[in-house]
């Protein structure tokens, strides 16, 4: 069993929101989160690329307590709902005392989850104090990259840029000649619907909330559909059937390049590891050449001191906003 108490400098309602609402969860614990917050409702949280926690809510007392089954999607050792997490909240002078207890684990599982919970509870304290815990180094360097894990890693990067955008940033021009920052988000809405359709799922636009919330919600639906479908065989594309693995590889390329576009247009920071950029660059080598003159311009020279992200952008025909 693992148990730990942290004190959050927020009131109980905000503390409860931080551990139950998808938009808050993305600020400290998850890449994406689907939550049906009621007894018997299910949740699905992508914690790091390729690692999805899932289970069922067993008890929900707003502002007081939430109990849910915990396990890992696809795990033979700790399947969804195989263990139990209980979170209780109590008002204290400094804000809210949050106690998390994780039961039903073997000694080895308890040790592994203790490392994870210590990491994320520290991020929760930071998010409560600052509004956002910032990029998670565990997300930036996934244990194993494939097309779908790369989609989740680059989605985290994209969300990080979107989260920084202000109303003043929306009309700013990006390196994509036809798109402002807001136009690019709208373009992504359509892409998410198309990605989902390839995997056989209907992606629904929330129609409200921040751009980050809408993109994150739609992308999570598309990627969940792809995880259920798998990467074998073929899928319908704009020009007819295409290999499923190739179609899925378009997602991380689009997510990362458009994150860079928005960061360039708005002047905001983009945070992504060289490891993820290198993997996406290799995917781009199979996608970009056949789409030059349409989705991609001709390759432009990269400067001698260009970092891996700048080199990927140059390969895709992007010039920095300053140029």
- For the chain, what is the domain count? 2
Rounded distance between C-alpha atoms, residue 174 and residue 109, angstroms: 46
Q: Closest Cα to residue 255, out of 31, 45, 95?
A: 31
Q: Are 233 and 123 in a shared domain?
A: no
Q: Are 89 and 162 in a shared domain?
A: no
Q: Are 158 and 225 in a shared domain?
A: yes
Using a 10 angstrom Cβ sphere, with 0-12 exposed, 13-18 middle and 19 or more buried, the burial of residue 275 is middle
Q: Closest Cα to residue 157, out of 318, 312, 15, 1?
A: 312
Q: Are 259 and 124 in a shared domain?
A: no
Instruction: Give Cα 238 to chain centroid, integer Å.
Output: 26
Q: Residue 245 is part of a domain; what is its CATH number? A: 1.20.120.450
Q: What was the pLDDT predicted at 322?
A: 60
In-domain check, residue 323: no
Round to the nearest angstrom and report the end-to-end CA distance of the chain. Answer: 56
What residue numbers bound the domain in which 54 lies?
2-130
Q: Are 149 and 243 in a shared domain?
A: yes
Q: Are 155 and 277 in a shared domain?
A: yes
Who's near 304: CB < 8 A, 6+ residues apart? none
Residue-level pLDDT, tens digit, the chain, 323 residues: 999 999 999 999 999 999 999 999 999 999 999 999 999 999 999 999 999 999 999 999 999 999 999 999 999 999 999 999 999 999 999 999 999 999 999 999 999 999 999 999 999 999 999 999 999 999 988 878 999 999 999 999 999 999 999 999 999 999 987 899 999 999 999 999 999 999 999 999 998 889 999 999 999 999 999 999 999 999 998 888 999 999 999 999 999 999 999 999 999 999 999 999 999 999 999 999 999 988 899 999 988 899 999 999 999 999 887 64
In-domain check, residue 46: yes
Q: Are 225 and 306 in a shared domain?
A: yes
Which of 85, 102, 130 is the last residue in one of the domains?
130
Q: What was the pLDDT predicted at 286?
A: 96
Q: Are 112 and 218 in a shared domain?
A: no
In-domain check, residue 68: yes
In-domain check, residue 186: yes
Q: Residue 102 is part of a domain; what is its CATH number? A: 3.30.530.20
In-domain check, residue 321: no
In-domain check, residue 207: yes
Which of 130, 150, 165 is the last residue in one of the domains?
130
Q: What was the pLDDT predicted at 307?
A: 94
Q: Are 83 and 188 in a shared domain?
A: no
Q: What was the pLDDT predicted at 143?
A: 79
Q: Are 126 and 157 in a shared domain?
A: no
Q: Are 26 and 105 in a shared domain?
A: yes
Which of 77, 103, 130 is the last residue in one of the domains?
130
Q: Is the dihedral of CA 192, 195, 198, 201 positive or negative?
A: negative
In-domain check, residue 47: yes
Q: What was the pLDDT predicted at 100?
A: 98
Q: Are 125 and 248 in a shared domain?
A: no
In-domain check, residue 135: no
3-state secondary structure at position 46: strand
52: β partners:
46
């Amino acid at each position: 069993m693992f148990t730990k108490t942290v004190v959050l400098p927020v009131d109980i309602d905000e503390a409860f929101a931080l551990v139950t609402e998808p938009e808050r969860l993305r600020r400290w614990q998850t890449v994406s989160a689907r939550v049906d917050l009621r007894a018997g409702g299910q949740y699905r949280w992508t914690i790091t690329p390729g690692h999805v926690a899932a289970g069922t809510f067993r008890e929900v007392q707003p502002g007081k307590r939430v109990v849910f089954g915990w396990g890992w999607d696809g795990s033979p050792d700790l399947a969804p709902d195989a263990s139990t997490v209980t979170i209780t909240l109590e008002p204290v002078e400094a804000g809210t005392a949050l106690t998390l207890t994780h039961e039903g684990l073997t000694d080895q599982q308890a040790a592994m989850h203790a490392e994870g919970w210590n990491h994320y509870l520290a991020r929760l304290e930071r998010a409560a104090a600052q509004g956002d815990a910032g990029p998670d180094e565990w997300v930036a360097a996934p244990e194993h990259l494939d097309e779908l894990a790369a989609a989740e890693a680059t989605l985290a990067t994209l969300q990080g840029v979107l989260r920084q955008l202000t109303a003043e940033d929306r009309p700013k021009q990006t390196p994509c000649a036809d798109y402002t920052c807001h136009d690019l988000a709208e373009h992504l809405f359509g892409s998410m619907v198309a990605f989902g359709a390839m995997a056989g799922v209907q992606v629904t636009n929330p129609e409200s909330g921040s751009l980050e919330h809408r993109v994150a919600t739609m992308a999570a639906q598309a990627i969940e559909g792809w995880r259920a479908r798998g990467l074998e065989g073929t899928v319908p594309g704009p020009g007819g059937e295409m290999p499923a693995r190739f179609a899925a590889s378009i997602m991380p390329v689009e997510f990362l390049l458009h994150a860079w576009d928005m960061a360039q247009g708005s002047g905001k920071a983009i945070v992504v590891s060289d490891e993820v950029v290198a993997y996406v660059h290799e995917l781009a080598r199979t996608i970009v050449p056949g789409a030059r003159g349409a989705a991609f311009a001709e390759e432009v020279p990269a400067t001698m001191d260009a970092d891996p992200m700048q080199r990927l952008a140059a390969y895709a025909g992007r010039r920095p906003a300053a140029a």
